[in-house]
């Protein structure tokens, strides 16, 4: 769920993993002990609309396969690397280095919903000193422009 700079992500893939990540616009919360997740509004796809604002720097990266690479860095040093399919112009992969971890998302399929292109199948990976972890997702339900209460983004005590 996204609303401006606020983000809530819940993954329930028990018995393997279940976690929550919440960013209330100022503070970040992760239910994974010892793993501080990057605030979703400062990384990844949320950064793309900000690329031309003051404090953001864009630089080229070497291309991979048939994908053009570029990096966006904000004034705090938050970095996301993007790889765009040269034929479609779609962001297919983005990588986030954060606190010694590498977070990555690779889009497999998209659906257009009410004129908005949404990833419907994707893979995420987390690279950490203990090893690399991967998860594949197939989205079953996509909702746009739904009213959300402020309590949705409340950080648990």
Whether pLDDT at 98 is above 70: yes
Whether pLDDT at 132 is above 80: yes
pTM of the shown model: 0.80
Tell me 12's DSSP state: E
Q: What is the pLDDT of residue 37?
A: 67
Tell me 46's DSSP state: G
- Domain ranges (residues) in the chain: 2-153
Pick from 14-23, 52-61, 78-87, 133-142: least confident: 14-23
Tell me the CA distances in angstroms from 146 to 30, 87, 138, 143, one per residue in order: 24, 32, 21, 7
Instruction: Return the half-sphere exposure (C-beta side, CA atoms, 13 A cut-off) of residue 146.
Output: 9
Residue 129 token pair: 């000193």
Contact residues for 77 (Cβ-Cβ < 8 A; gap 6+): none
Average pLDDT over residues 130-143: 86
Q: What is the pLDDT of residue 122?
A: 93
Confidence of residue 67 (pLDDT cuts 50, 70, 90): very high
Straight-line distance from the first to the last Cα atom of the chain, in angstroms, rounded to the nearest whole number: 20
- When the pLDDT of each residue in the chain is averaged and rounded to a whole number, the result is 88
Whether pLDDT at 23 is above 90: no
Per DSSP (E only), the strands in 14-141 are 17-23, 28-30, 57-64, 67-73, 79-85, 91-98, 101-113, 116-128, 131-138
Confidence of residue 139 (pLDDT cuts 50, 70, 90): confident
Q: What is the pLDDT of residue 119?
A: 92
pLDDT, tens only, 24-49: 888 888 887 776 667 777 889 989 99
Q: What is the pLDDT of residue 55?
A: 96
> What is the C-alpha R_g of the chain?
16
Q: How far apart are alpha carbons 145 and 74 in whole angstroms? A: 27
């Amino acid at each position: 769920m996204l609303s401006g700079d606020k983000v809530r992500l819940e993954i329930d893939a028990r018995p393997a993993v279940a976690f929550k990540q919440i960013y209330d616009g100022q503070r970040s919360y992760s239910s994974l002990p010892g793993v501080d997740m990057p605030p979703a509004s400062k990384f990844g796809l949320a950064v793309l609309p900000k690329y031309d604002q003051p404090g953001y720097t864009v630089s080229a990266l070497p291309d991979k396969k048939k994908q053009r690479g570029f990096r966006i860095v904000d004034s705090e040093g938050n970095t996301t690397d993007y790889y765009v399919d040269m034929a479609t112009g779609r962001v297919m992969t983005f990588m986030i280095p954060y606190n010694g971890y590498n977070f990555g998302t690779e889009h497999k399929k998209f659906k257009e919903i009410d004129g908005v292109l949404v990833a419907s199948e994707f893979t995420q990976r987390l690279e950490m000193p203990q090893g690399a972890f991967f998860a594949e997702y197939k989205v079953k339900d996509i909702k746009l422009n739904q009213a959300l209460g402020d309590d949705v983004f409340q950080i648990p005590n």
